[in-house]
Structure 1
C-alpha cells in the first residue's frame, strides 16, 4: 500500500526547519548509513542521528506525526526509527535499492515494514522518488510538507537532482500489522468508518458494528 499524506508539517514550521538545516547542520557523506549494496548507488549528504539539529527536528516531526490520524491509521506504528535528514544537490541521486529488512538503532532493532519520505522543500528539479509496485514504477513528486508511506520491500530510487536542493526526512516503521494486505484492509475500513461517522450519528448501529469489526481484525492480526 502506497499512501501520500498531506500537510504533515505546516508552512511556517517548514521554513524554520529549512533555515536550521541550511544554517546549523553538519552534513556528512550519506553512504555512512547505507548497506553494502546501497552504498554503491547512494550519492547524497545526511545528518548523523545524534546531530543536535537532527534531534531537535526529529522531536518536532514526531509530535506532528502522532497528531495525524491518517498517519496512525495507515501505519499503525509500533516502533519508529530515528529520522534521517538527507540533502541531494545537483547530480546527486540514490540508485535502485531495497531498504534493509532490519535497522539497528540506539533503541534496539526494528523490522522495516514501512518506509517514509517527508518532503521539506520542493524548490528543485529532478529528484523524483520512483517506487516499483505491482502496477509498475510510480513516480512520486511531493509538495513540501507532504509525506509518502510505502512498503519497505519495494524496489525504489531517487532520480538525479537537476537544480536546487532536495531536502527530505526519511524513516522506517515497524507496524503492529506486519502484512501489507491486512494493513490495507484496515486502513480502508477505518477510512469508511470515519466517512460513515460523518454522515450518521457515531453511535448509529452500523457505525458501531463496523468499528467492532475493525478492532476485532486488529486484535486478530496485530503482533505485540
Structure 2
C-alpha cells in the first residue's frame, strides 16, 4: 500500500526547519550510511547523525510522525526509527534499491525490522527539477513528488529510486517503522476497514453494525498483530 499523508508538518514548521538545514555545515556525503552495493548508486547528502542540528531536528520530525493519525492507522507502528535528512542537487540521484531489512535504533541499538518506509518532503515541487521518488510494485511504477510538509508511506520491500535532480535542491526527511502487522496486504485490509468504520460512524453514529465492524477490526488486529 502506498499512501499520501498530507500536512504532517505545517508550512511554518517546514520554513523553520529549512532555515536551519539550508545553513547547516553538518551535511556529509550520503555514501557514509550506505552499504557496499548502495554506495555505487547513491549520490546525495545527509545530515550527520552526530551533529547538534540532527539531534535538535530529528525528534521534532519523529514527534510529528508519531502523532499523525493516518500513520497510526496505515502503519500500525510498533517502533519508528529516528528520522534522517537528505538533500539531492547537482544531478544527485539514488538508483534502484530495496532498503535494508533491519536498521538499528541510534538511541538504544535495538534492531528494527523495516516494514514501512516514510519520506517527508521539505522542498516544494517547484523548487527543483527531477527528483521524483519512483516506487515499483505489482501494478507498475509510481512517481511521487509532493508538497513540502506532505509524506508518502509505502512498503519498505518495494524497489524504489530517486531520479536525478537537474536543477534546484530537493530536501527531505525519511525514516522506517516496524509495524505491529508485518504483512502489507493485512495492513492494507485493516487500514481500509478502519477508514470505512470512521466514515460510517460520522454518518450514522455508533450503531450496532458499527460496533460489530469495530469488533472485527480489533479481533483481526489480535490475530495478525505481533506485539
TM-score, normalised relative to structure 2? 0.95
Aligned residue number for residue 41 of structure 1 = 41
- Cα deviation for residue 144 of structure 1 reads 0.6
Aligned residue number for residue 122 of structure 2 = 120
- Cα deviation for residue 67 of structure 1 reads 2.3
Aligned residue number for residue 208 of structure 2 = 205
- Cα deviation for residue 25 of structure 1 reads 4.5
Consecutive unaligned residues of structure 2, counting only runs of 5 or more, are none
Consecutive unaligned residues of structure 1, counting only runs of 5 or more, are none
Aligned residue number for residue 188 of structure 2 = 184
Say which SS state the counterpart of residue 197 (structure 2) adopts. Answer: helix
Alignment of 1:103-142 (within 5 A): 103-106=103-106, 107=108, 108-122=110-124, 123-142=127-146
Within the candidate set 162, 174, 197, 1:170 is matched to 174
Q: Distance in 1 between matches of 2:175 and 2:149?
A: 15
Q: Distance in 2 between matches of 1:42 and 1:84?
A: 15
Alignment of 1:1-224 (within 5 A): 1-106=1-106, 107=108, 108-122=110-124, 123-201=127-205, 203-224=206-227
Q: Distance in 2 between matches of 1:173 and 1:25?
A: 28
TM-score, normalised relative to structure 1? 0.97
Contact 2:59 2:82 in 1 (8 A): no
- Cα deviation for residue 24 of structure 1 reads 2.9
Contact 1:190 1:214 in 2 (8 A): yes
Is 103-112 or 119-128 further displaced after alignment? 103-112
Say which SS state the counterpart of residue 95 (structure 1) adopts. Answer: strand
Q: Distance in 2 between matches of 1:4 and 1:67?
A: 16
Contact 1:97 1:157 in 2 (8 A): yes
Q: Distance in 1 between matches of 2:173 and 2:91?
A: 19
Say what the alpha-carbon RMSD is for the aligned residues. Answer: 1.0
